[in-house]
Amino acid sequence: MGNSALIFELLHKDARTKARRGRITTPHGVIETPVFMPVGTQATVKAMKPEDVKNTGAQIILGNTYHLYLRPGSDIIREAGGLHKFMNWDKPILTDSGGFQVFSLGHMRKITEEGVKFQSYIDGSRHMLTPEKSIEIQTDLGSDIMMAFDECAPPDADYNYIERSQAMTTRWLERCIKAQKDTDKQALFGIMQGGFFRDLREKSAEAIVSFDLPGYAIGGISVGETKEEYIGVLEYAPDLLPENKPRYVMGIGTPDYIFEAVEHGVDMFDCVEPTRIARHGMAMTSHGRLSIKNARFARDFTPLDPECDCYTCRNYSRAYLRHLFRENEALSHMLLSEHNLRFLSHMCENIRTAIEEDRFKEYKKEFYSKYYNEEA
């Protein structure tokens, strides 16, 4: 396996934790890690122009294969010249495999060795996603990083189920690798599974690492588990992956989950959280989350977060944002989304500097004391 589409440099390791400062180079540019990746499910980060996403400091965004395959169709995006051009985003893009959505959104799904049959959540039409099909779609999309098609087993599945599922995920990975035609343009990441069973995680890691892929994700730990179970896996799973490859935990977007992942040596994460809560009137601020609906903001002419340098905080007051939200104005979603993305991006900037200066623990403590009003 070549990995010429992606170069990872490990720049520095924090002196007292496993936190890593790295750099990923892709065909569409450089990504400084640890990095939070905003999600643009349907070829748009909801309620934001690409320029506004960039202005938050975003270095890479995520596109969802399942959604784009169903609508508008990956053939249309291919004809448009790929996802970058279609959506006017010239920085790196990572696409998921579609697997997670098939399991969470698909109706009447049926899993076999061949792949997963499912019905569209839109019109009930029947489809089949296989490792080969997922790679074909992701090739049409032209992402910089594509993800292997895996089975994301339910968090309450038993040992026997997870063992079989993990083994099939490995066979599927091999098929993904074979299906990939051009490794110079797109990097393929493998996904470690194995649930909350350490020996299965080890088995999975050993198998996927043998393919010498350009990067690896730790799957199945952000799917409804407790925070203790999540940290439990983080305590050993990243160490099962090669040090010289980027590590990715999918679907995490709250500060505490991100800090825990970074502390245990994870480099990449994504989540709809910051933009989704924005559309519900929730803002992440230096002093914790706040709901802009709250009546106490009616006459509050200060910024959402006085410590924030984003467009929203530089130009608008809480009173204005509350007014917009109550009136269901699109601008409230636009402004809160931009702020929340900037918040996480800024947090990651601080995390990167803290790692470089060997004070990740101190920064985590400082952040928690303000954001959660508690010890780290």
Q: Which residues bind a second copy (CB under 8 A)?
A: 42-44, 46-49, 71-72, 76, 79-81, 86-88, 298-299, 301, 315-317, 319-320, 322-324, 326-327, 329-331, 333-334
Pairing of strands 268-271, 247-249: parallel
Q: Is 256 a catalytic residue?
A: no
CB of 92 to a second copy, least distance (A): 19
Please say which residue, 13 or 276, places its beta carbon nearer to a second copy: 276
CA quadruple 140, 145, 147, 148: dihedral, nearest 10: 80
* Distance (Å) of CA 211 to CA 187, 191, 207, 214: 13, 12, 7, 9
230: Cβ–Cβ under 8 A, 6 or more apart, which residues? Answer: 221, 222, 257, 260
CB of 71 to a second copy, least distance (A): 6
Please say which residue, 127 or 333, places its beta carbon nearer to a second copy: 333
Number of helices (H) and strands (E), helices first, in the chain?
Answer: 15, 16
Q: Is 123 a catalytic residue?
A: no
**CB-count burial class (<10 Å; 0-12, 13-18, 19+) for 105:** middle
Catalytic residue chosen out of the listed positions 52, 140, 150, 270? 270
CB of 280 to a second copy, least distance (A): 14
CB of 54 to a second copy, least distance (A): 13
Catalytic residue chosen out of the listed positions 14, 52, 96, 140? 96
**CB-count burial class (<10 Å; 0-12, 13-18, 19+) for 371:** buried
Please say which residue, 76 or 128, places its beta carbon nearer to a second copy: 76
C-alpha closest to that of 244 among 20, 17, 2: 20
Can you say whether the dihedral through the CA atoms of 12, 17, 18, 23 is positive or negative? negative
Please say which residue, 87 or 176, places its beta carbon nearer to a second copy: 87
CB of 331 to a second copy, least distance (A): 5
Please say which residue, 96 or 151, places its beta carbon nearer to a second copy: 96
Return the active site residues.
96, 270
